[in-house]
Chains A and B, each alone.
Chain A
Amino acid sequence: MKWTPALSLALLPIAAIHGPAIAGPRINLTVEQAQQRLFPGQALTRHSFTLSDAQRAQMQSASSVREPFRTERVWRSAKGDWFILDDVVGKHEMITYALAINANGTIKAIEIVTYMESYGYEVAEASWRAQFTGKTASATLKLNQDIKNISGATLSCKHLTDGVKRLMVMHDLALKGH
Chain B
Amino acid sequence: MFSSARHLIACALLLSCVATAQAGEGSFGWIYTLDLQPKGTMEFEQRLQLNRSQAQGKYDLWQARTEVEYGVSENFQLSAYLNTSSVSAWRNYPDGSTAGWLVPSSAGTDRYNRSRVDGVSLEAIWRLTNPVTDPLGIGFYLETTTGAVKDELEGRLLLQSNFMDDKLVLAANLHFAIEKVKFDKLEIGHESMMDLLAGTSYRFAPNWTAGVEYRFHNDFEGYAFNTQTQRAHFIGPNIHYATKDWWVTAAWRMQPALGKCWSTGTVECSGGYVWDSHSRHEVIFKFGMPL
List A residues at the B interface (Cβ < 8 Å): 1-4, 6-9, 11-12, 15-16, 18-20, 22-24, 26, 64-67, 88-89, 91-94, 116-120, 143-144, 149, 151-155, 158-159
Contact of B133 with A8 in the complex, beta carbons under 8 Å: no
Given contacts A151-B38, A154-B130, A158-B132, contact A19 B83 (CB under 8 A): no
State the Cβ distance, B38 to closest chain A Cβ, in Å.
Answer: 3
A-contacting 9-mer, from B14-22, B229-237, B239-247: B239-247
Within 8 A of A (CB), among B71-123: 71, 74, 82-86, 88, 113, 115, 117
Contact of B88 with A2 in the complex, beta carbons under 8 Å: yes
Cα–Cα distance between A15 and B289 once the two chains are bound (Å): 8
Chain B residues within 8 Å of A7, by CB: 82, 84, 117
Q: With an 8 A cutoff between CB atoms, is B66 at the interface?
A: yes
Contact of A26 with B244 in the complex, beta carbons under 8 Å: yes
Chain A residues within 8 Å of B71, by CB: 152
State the Cβ distance, B34 to closest chain A Cβ, in Å.
Answer: 11
List B residues at the A interface (Cβ < 8 Å): 25, 38-39, 41, 44, 46, 50, 52, 60, 62, 64-66, 71, 74, 82-86, 88, 113, 115, 117, 130, 132-133, 164-167, 203, 206-207, 242-246, 287, 289-291
Contact of B44 with A19 in the complex, beta carbons under 8 Å: yes
State the Cβ distance, A39 to closest chain B Cβ, in Å.
Answer: 29
Cα–Cα distance between A2 and B83 once the two chains are bound (Å): 18
Given contacts A117-B244, A151-B74, contact A24 B85 (CB under 8 A): no
State the Cβ distance, A54 to closest chain B Cβ, in Å.
Answer: 21
Chain B residues within 8 Å of A9, by CB: 46, 64, 66, 84
Contact of B60 with A159 in the complex, beta carbons under 8 Å: no
Contact of B38 with A93 in the complex, beta carbons under 8 Å: no
Q: Which of A3, A117, A149 has the most CB of B within 10 A?
A: A3
State the Cβ distance, B164 to closest chain A Cβ, in Å.
Answer: 6
Which residue on chain B has the smallest CB distance to residue A122? B38
- Listed from nearest, the 4 A-B pairs whose CB atoms lie closest are A152-B38, A6-B84, A8-B66, A19-B289
State the Cβ distance, A149 to closest chain B Cβ, in Å.
Answer: 7
Cα–Cα distance between A118 and B247 once the two chains are bound (Å): 10
Given contacts A18-B291, A151-B74, contact A8 B38 (CB under 8 A): no
Chain B residues within 8 Å of A143, by CB: 133
State the Cβ distance, A17 to closest chain B Cβ, in Å.
Answer: 11
Cα–Cα distance between A153 and B132 once the two chains are bound (Å): 11
Contact of A159 with B244 in the complex, beta carbons under 8 Å: no
- Chosen A-B contacts, 29 in total, with CB atoms closer than 8 Å, are A1-B50, A3-B86, A6-B85, A6-B86, A6-B115, A8-B84, A12-B66, A15-B289, A15-B291, A19-B44, A19-B245, A19-B289, A20-B289, A22-B291, A23-B290, A24-B245, A65-B165, A88-B165, A89-B203, A94-B206, A118-B25, A118-B290, A120-B38, A149-B133, A151-B74, A152-B41, A154-B130, A154-B133, A158-B166
Cα–Cα distance between A14 and B21 once the two chains are bound (Å): 21
Contact of A19 with B246 in the complex, beta carbons under 8 Å: yes
Chain B residues within 8 Å of A89, by CB: 165-167, 203
Chain B residues within 8 Å of A159, by CB: 165-166
State the Cβ distance, B80 to closest chain A Cβ, in Å.
Answer: 11
Contact of A11 with B86 in the complex, beta carbons under 8 Å: no
Of the residues A11, A20, A92, contact of B206 by C-beta under 8 Å: A92
Contact of B206 with A93 in the complex, beta carbons under 8 Å: yes
Contact of A2 with B86 in the complex, beta carbons under 8 Å: yes
Q: Which of B25, B65, B245 has the most CB of A within 10 A?
A: B245
Contact of A67 with B165 in the complex, beta carbons under 8 Å: yes
Contact of A92 with B243 in the complex, beta carbons under 8 Å: yes
Contact of B82 with A8 in the complex, beta carbons under 8 Å: yes
Contact of B46 with A11 in the complex, beta carbons under 8 Å: yes
